[in-house]
Structure 1
Amino acid sequence: MHDSTVRALPSAELADSPWYDCAGPDSGHRERDVIAAFSEITTEAITATRLEGLLSLLGRKLCQLLGVMRCSVYLRRDDGRFRGAAGYCERDGDISAAVQAQEAGIPGDHFSREVIDTAAPVLISDVTSDPRPHRRTMEHWHVRAMLGVPLVFDDEVIGLIFVDNVDQEHVYTGEDVALAELFARLGALFLRQAMLNADLKKKAAEVVRQKNTLAYLADVHQKLTNAVLDGASIQAVVTLLGELSAKPVVLYNEDFQVLAWSAPPALKMTQPPVLSARIRQLPSVRRTLAGLSASCPSAVVPQTLAVGLGRRHLMCRLVIEGRPSGYLGIVEVGRSLEHRDSKLAEHGATVLSLQILSERRQAEAEGQAREDFLSDLLHRARDAEQLIRRGPQFGVDLSQPHVLVRFSLDHANQSVSVSVGRKLVIEALARALDTPDPAAVSLPGAVIALVRLPEGAEPEDLREAVGEVRTALAPRLNVRTAAISAVCRGPEDFPMAHRELREIDELARSFGWAGGVLTADELGLFRVVAATGRVKEAVHFAHNFIRPLQDGDGDALLETWRVFVKAEGKVQATAAELGVHENTIRYRLGKIRRLVHQDPARLDCLLQARLAFQILDLAGW
């Protein structure tokens, strides 16, 4: 291992160098210049924080020793290529930026390659007539004559120094070449020492950075853990993550709908800075998001900013019970994304995944308890007093009037599970009725919900809302029938209402009915008749009953008779519903009387007509 300490070259070693072979009468003076140069270089090597400063000084001192104007210094990278590192020109000053855009030893640059391969100085006295230099580079820099010197350490070329006189002739003597070689060998020692120092400083800085990161993550872990233990909501955790990152934080579900978000107050944001659908559809962003996994939990999208791409988002996958369950995003607003942001996002995503899972489990447990309560209510599994006492913990006051709403499902065509179907019914009813989620229970082929009646309302008043629910469920649930029970005013009424709804469903299935919404009250007498199971006879009766009206203007008469029955035999109400004069209704009723040979206003005829129309409605006629 080579001694890495910087040392001055002893006079004996200088005497053995090739420089003495070519020494002239001023050799002692030039020796003192070399020693003076390295005195300054030693200070730079010890104090410099960047290699560029030391390399620039090496090149500048060599220019002064040789009496030329310009130098460029190249360093070997880990891949073996030599990239420009520093440069100086007496006329133009620091030219490091231009040199750093260059590479030595590229195809066509046989000059630099010769210096590297021989590890010895190479002189080109006339660039224009020598085939070795890279022609375009020489023309660009206006080089007339150039000396290339390797920086050699442990028999390995670690860098290159090129000197020239900027578009002017210059004669390099043998003494100049030897001096440059000796200078470069000494310079390589200092350069190697500086590189070791820089590497040590870099490693020390990395240790400090990692230590700070660990301390930061420990603090993050403690704050997040304490927040969860204190019962913080998902929104509270997201807000805490926003405070820790000092950037906006957005929590998404799998469909990129925002579940929660937070932003530092100083940003004065009123809307979440979401990752837009247009950006998500970019091929690079889609690939990055699809590639997020346990081995690659977070990534920045888009990876580079461009016009129209907006802000960068650090996206982290949420995984719950082995399944992707959303994303956590930290948005680059106000401050740039940092390495620790990815660790914060990953830690936060883990905490949120556990919290979401916990809330799901709690909701499922509460939902199961509500379902058990409703099941006990329908089957009268517990005494009335106990049911009344348990009701409030599920948001149910059994002292108030309620109805049961039954959604009969065709499970042969269902694409969702029983639990999902029940959840869909609950959410749709809550929206349509503008109430909290009602209690509901899943039974074979049906979902039954418990709905409180508003004060002064009747089951009929819920028909429109239940119809809206059935329509809303249609894309995902195949609801065969929807039925509303009679009013239940105490625990003892619910088993009977449940049985009536089941009978209504069986009745509708017998007639193949799949219409709107049925109520138990409107099917009172018909349920008793149809319970005999003589469906064909019932349909035959209905058709025979209205047959006399099917000729002539029977449609108008049938419509009048239907409305008259619905209006409970009241002429004025029938006329208002049809928008005609009362005398027109009396004329039509008289015509109906002559055709059916019965008075449509008599009670027995009203009951028969009601039964006939109900049968025809259920039969889809």
Structure 2
Amino acid sequence: MLVRDMLEEPLSLRLRHAQPVALDRAVARICVTDMPDPLPFVTPGALVCTGLVWRREADDSAHYIGLLAAAGAVAVAAGQSLYGHVPEDVVGACARHGLPLLEVPESLPFSRIIEHLAERNAETRLRRVKSGLARQRRLLTAVADGRDIDALVGEFARDCGVRAWLLTSTGTVVAGAGAPDDEVTDHVITAAAGAYRLPLTLRDGYAVWPVGGRLGDRITLWYLVVRDEHGELEPDGAAADLAAVAELYRMRHAEQLRLSWEMSDRMRAEPPPGPVLAVVLDVVPPVNNDAVEGVSSAPGRDTVRALLHDVLPAAQTTVDPAGRVAAWVTGAEQEVAAVLRRRLERLTPVLAGAVVRAGVSVCRAGESAAGAVAAAAAAASVGGEGPVNVRVADVDSAFGLLTAVPGELQRRFAERVLGPVVDYDRRTGAGLLETLEVFLGCAGSWRQAADRMHLHLNTVRYRIGRVEELTGRDLGRLDDRLDLFLAVRARDQTAPV
């Protein structure tokens, strides 16, 4: 009920003062007080009924009404029994503090106002329950008739005057017109994933309802996201009903996925004609046992496989003989990796120490599908910073092949090859390693290396000679030069030796 609605009730309340916008405030409850300090008795959203007993002189009004405004009162209802009227200083104080002032007749006890509001609220709740039941019946009938979830979300958005989307836990749009941009999706999904409870109201009019699953297992949860610029949707109203019905679609979608997996696994379906990408995904649980439910132990194969479909809806998934969950998808390697990285990073708030790893490898026509999956798995196994690691298995070059090797092995290789050079530089400051890098970058040209480093040609020759002595490699040999090149690059990619 709004303040203006109180004036239309059969209570004979008379408006003494109010700014028009203040009459649209919602009355959440009635408070009756004449205590000298009203703060302990007044809560935000209250219509305060007072007999003005606290007023001993005119100056009291400004202080007392100021306290009511600070407590969050939405209006004041002043009785006339004490003075026979409402004093002008009370009217002026309400005007200064922006509180609507209602004049209560002497014949109307405050208890009658409270009873009347309680009756109206009960009627409102009953209508809301009946309306909710009717809405639920309509939604369930629509489901039984085979209506598409996209149509139901669109109908809800039109009826309520809002925008709405059904999103997976990684931000992939399941239903809803005009998907929100990536920045909005990042904000909404990460906030919902990390929220203590749902539904959740966010800035700019966005609100989120959970769709299925357990709140502890937010990897598989979907979200109904609504942008309600007027803030009129109630947490347990139409959006909650739609979220409950959307859970039926989520369950149906999960069952359809499982059936498609059974069919493809039974037929041992091959990847589509190339070039295609092999994507391998793995979720590594945390070492400790303090993680949230859902990632405190290794997720099941079906959970990981469903997560791949969430991130890459058009993918064809499979489980290889080694038990690895892989997906086949078309597209450019770096673009697919970027999609994986962005969407998987939205899970960060619920990982709680777990690590999500993904590798991408191209499989061209005529190449081995098993080899592409193995390359993607090798890339996924390479450690990195942060809870989400996505790597492309670049096997088109010697260094690209090296990047598929776990970081610890790369460090050991660099240390064995270049360790003596690094130690010599630390003791003498001779700059051998820097000279080697420049020399290799100049394709073994003494002159170019000398010019680039502003050194004498003989100085470069001397330094490279010392590198050859310390490493036991001959830079005139192709295999030895390749060893040193890969060691330098591996050292750049990992921690210093």
- What range describes the TM-score normalised by the shorter chain of this pair? 0.3 to 0.5
Larger Cα-atom Rg: 1
**Larger fraction in helix:** 1
- So what's the TM-score if we normalise by structure 1? 0.36
- So what's the TM-score if we normalise by structure 2? 0.42
